[in-house]
Amino acid sequence: MNIDKKITDDLVANDVSFVTTVPCKQLAGVIDEIDARDEIFHIPSNKEDEGMGLCAGAFMGGKRPAIIMQNTAIGVTINTLATLIQYYRMPLPMLISYRGELREPVACQVEMAVHTKALLAEMKIPTYHFHHQKDVEELDAILKYTFMCNKPVAILTDANFWGGYGDQ
């Protein structure tokens, strides 16, 4: 299974047509796939809170948005999630590279990894964790759930899900 293609297909099938990204090595393939698809307008952002602002505007303009980012961004976006996305009740699927988990080579990434789920839980953000490749089968249902309830929803995707870091 090509995970990048499967994720992009699910986004398209759920009418997600506006995607903003802040890159991560693990997400490079899916970002490339999204960039290549005519059905999706891809706009890279410089920071994740900026990206959430773009998504909020796109949603109000009638598009279904999504953001792709690293889990370090949870530290950047708490205020935006609380005072924009949640306060105005907007849907926002967040496909998140869960750095700092098993098979992580960079020690500093662990420092945000240990806070990631606690912060999401504190924010009452529905959170799904993809650890095995087959977990991606739930993405379609998660996207439907997100646009049903008009909430930000986190999909954490760890290194094991992506198949590790090559030679690490």
Partner 1 sequence: MIRSEILKEIAPILRDHLVVCNIGLPSQELHMIDDQPTNFYMLGTMGLSSSIGFGLALAQDKTVISIDGDGSVLTNLGTLPTIANNETDNYILLIIDNGSYGSTGDQPTYAGKKTSLSAVATACGCDTVIEVQDKDLGPVLQSAIDSKKMTVIVCKCDSGNIKLPVITMDPVVIRDRFMKAVQA
Query: What are the residues binding partner 1 (CB under 8 A)?
Result: 18, 41, 43-47, 49-63, 65, 79-80, 82-84, 87-90
CB of 60 to partner 1, least distance (A): 5
Which C-beta is closer to partner 1: that of 28 or that of 43?
A: 43
Nearest distance in Å: CB 164, partner 1: 31
Place of tokens 């690490």: 168
**Closer to partner 1 by Cβ: residue 88 or 165:** 88
The answer to whether the beta carbons of residues 160 and 132 sit under 8 Å apart is yes
Report angle CA 106, 111, 112 to the nearest 5 degrees. 105
The amino acid sitting at 17 is S
CB 46, min distance to partner 1, A: 3
Phi, psi of 89 (to 5 degrees): 50, 80
Smaller CB separation from partner 1, 2 or 83: 83
Q: How far is the CB of 52 from partner 1 (least distance, A)?
A: 8
Q: Which is nearer to partner 1, 15 or 111 (CB)?
A: 15
In whole angstroms, how close is the CB of 119 to partner 1 at the nearest point? 18
- Residue with smaller CB distance to partner 1, 54 or 128: 54
> How far is Cα 30 from Cα 27, in angstroms, rounded to an integer?
5
Please work out, in degrees rounded to the nearest 5, the angle formed at the alpha carbon of residue 71 by the alpha carbons of 96 and 19.
40
- Give the burial class of 152: count Cβ atoms within 10 A of its Cβ; 0-12 exposed, 13-18 middle, 19 or more buried: buried
